[in-house]
Amino acid sequence: MNEIIIGENITKEYEEGSERRTVLNEVSISIRRGEFITIMGPSGCGKSTLLSILSGLEKAESGTIRFTGSELGKMKETQLSDLRRKNMGFVFQQPTFLKNLNLIDNIILPAVKNKNKSADIILEKARELMRKTGISDLEERSVTQVSGGQLQRAGICRALINQPDILFGDEPTGALNSKSSEEVMDIFSQVNQQGTTVLLVTHDAKVAAFADKVYFMQDGNIVNEIALTRSNDCSMEDRRDAIRDKMKILGI
Amino acid sequence: MYQRIIRNDFLKTKWVSITLMLLILAASMLVTLAMMIMINLSGAIDHLMVIAKTPHFLQMHTGEVDFERMSSFAKTREEVDEYQILTFLNVEGSQIRIADQSFLNSVQDNGFTVQSEKFDYLLDLGGNRIEAKEGELYVPINYRKMGVKVGDTANVCETTLKVAGFLRDSQMNSPLASSKRFLISSEDYEQIKASGKEEYLIEFRLKDLKEINSFQAAYAKAGLEENGPTLTYPLFKMMSAISDGMLAGILIFISCLIVLIAFLCIRFALLTKLEEEIYEIGVMKAIGLQHRDIKMIYLLKYTLLSLIGCLFGWIFAWMYSGVLMKDMRDNFGTSLHAGKAPFIGAIASAAIFLIIMMFVQHTLSYLKKISVLQALRYGTLQTKSNSGSCFSLSKINRMSPNMYLSMKDIMMRKKQFLTLWFVFILATFIMLVPQNLSNTISSKEFIRYMGVGKSDIRMDMKQSYKISESLEIAQKYLNEDREVKKYVILTTAKFKMLNKQNEEIPVTVEIGDQQVFPVNYKEGKPPITQEEIALSELNSKELQADIGDQICMKRNGTYMKYEVCGIYSDITNGGKTAKLSSQPIAYEDNMGSILYIKVSENAQPKTVSKKYAELFPDSKVSDMKEYMNQTFGETMNSVAKAALITTLVSLGIIIFVTVLFLNMLIAKDGYSISVLKAIGFSSRDIKIQYMFRLLLIFIVGTSTGLILANTLGESAVGSVISSFGAGTFQFETNLINNIMLSPAMMLVAVLMATLLGTKEIENKKIVDHIRE
CATH number of A101's domain: 3.40.50.300
Contact A89, A51 (CB under 8 A): no
**Averaged pLDDT of chain B:** 85
Domain residue ranges in chain B: 1-63+227-382, 64-226, 415-446+633-772, 465-617
Provide the ipTM: 0.91
Q: What stretches of B56-99 adopt beta strand conformation (E)? A: 57-62, 80-90, 96-98
List of chain B residues whose C-beta atoms are within 8 Å of the C-beta of residue A90 = 678-679
List of chain B residues whose C-beta atoms are within 8 Å of the C-beta of residue A94 = 770, 772
Between chains, do B680 and A104 touch, taking CB under 8 Å as contact?
Answer: no
Exposure string for B231-244, b = 16+ CB within 10 A, e = fewer: bbbebbbbbbbbbb
| Per-residue model confidence (pLDDT) at position B12 | 76
Q: In this model, does residue B205 exceed pLDDT 70?
A: yes
| Per-residue model confidence (pLDDT) at position B167 | 93
Instruction: Report the percentage of chain B scoring pLDDT > 70.
Output: 94
Q: Is A59 on the interface with B (CB under 8 A)?
A: no
Contact B597, B623 (CB under 8 A): no
| Bridge pairing between strands A166-170 and A197-202 | parallel
Average pLDDT over residues B184-201: 89
What is the tally of structural domains in chain A?
Answer: 1
Q: Which of A4-8, B93-97, B528-532, B605-609: highest mean pLDDT?
A: A4-8
Each residue's pLDDT tens digit, B642-654: 889 889 989 998 9
Which chain A residue has the Cα nearest residue B411?
Answer: A100
Q: What is the CB neighbour count within 10 angstroms for residue B264?
A: 18
Each residue's pLDDT tens digit, B300-336: 888 999 999 999 999 998 888 887 777 777 778 877 7
Shortest Cα distance, chain B CAs vs residue A76, angstroms: 10
Q: Is A112 on the interface with B (CB under 8 A)?
A: yes
Between chains, do B405 and A94 touch, taking CB under 8 Å as contact?
Answer: no
Burial label, B104 (beta-carbon count in 10 A; 0-12, 13-18, 19+): middle
Reported confidence tier of residue A17, pLDDT bands at 50, 70, 90: confident
Between chains, do A100 and B412 touch, taking CB under 8 Å as contact?
Answer: yes
Note down the domain range covering A14.
3-250
Between chains, do B676 and A101 touch, taking CB under 8 Å as contact?
Answer: no
Helix ranges (H only) for B385-466 are 401-412, 414-442
Each residue's pLDDT tens digit, B5-59: 777 777 777 878 888 898 899 889 888 888 888 888 888 888 889 999 999 999 9
| Per-residue model confidence (pLDDT) at position A215 | 95
Q: In what order do the strands lie in the sheet with A166-170?
A: A88-91, A166-170, A197-202, A36-40, A213-218, A221-227
- In three-state secondary structure terms, B87 is strand
Which chain A residue has the Cα nearest residue B400?
Answer: A113
Provide the β-strand partners of residue B580: B511, B533
Helix (H) or strand (E) holding B290: none
Reported confidence tier of residue A176, pLDDT bands at 50, 70, 90: confident
Between chains, do B394 and A104 touch, taking CB under 8 Å as contact?
Answer: yes
Between chains, do A92 and B672 touch, taking CB under 8 Å as contact?
Answer: no
Q: Higher pLDDT residue, B481 or A18?
A: B481
Q: Is B403 on the interface with A (CB under 8 A)?
A: no
| Per-residue model confidence (pLDDT) at position B109 | 81
- In three-state secondary structure terms, B200 is strand
Each residue's pLDDT tens digit, B347-393: 989 999 999 999 899 888 888 877 777 777 666 655 454 545 567 88
Q: Higher pLDDT residue, B284 or B680?
A: B680
> Within 13 Å, how many C-alpha atoms sit on residue B278's CB side?
22
- CA B88, B93, B97, B98: dihedral to nearest 10 degrees? 60
Shortest Cα distance, chain A CAs vs residue B282, angstroms: 21
Which chain B residue has the Cα nearest residue A123?
Answer: B394
> Within 13 Å, how many C-alpha atoms sit on residue B263's CB side?
19
Q: In this model, does residue B461 exceed pLDDT 90?
A: no
d(CA A168, CA A177): 20
Q: Is B768 on the interface with A (CB under 8 A)?
A: no
B574 closest CA partner among B93, B184, B212, B106: B212
Q: Is B679 on the interface with A (CB under 8 A)?
A: yes
Interface of A with B in 170-199 (CB under 8 A): 170-171, 174
List of chain B residues whose C-beta atoms are within 8 Å of the C-beta of residue A98 = 405, 672, 675-676
Which chain B residue has the Cα nearest residue A98?
Answer: B672
Contact A176, A184 (CB under 8 A): yes
Shortest Cα distance, chain A CAs vs residue B766, angstroms: 6
Contact B738, B432 (CB under 8 A): yes
Which chain A residue has the Cα nearest residue B676?
Answer: A98
Average pLDDT over residues B661-690: 91
Which chain A residue has the Cα nearest residue B404?
Answer: A109
Contacts (Cβ under 8 Å, ≥6 apart) of B477: B612, B615
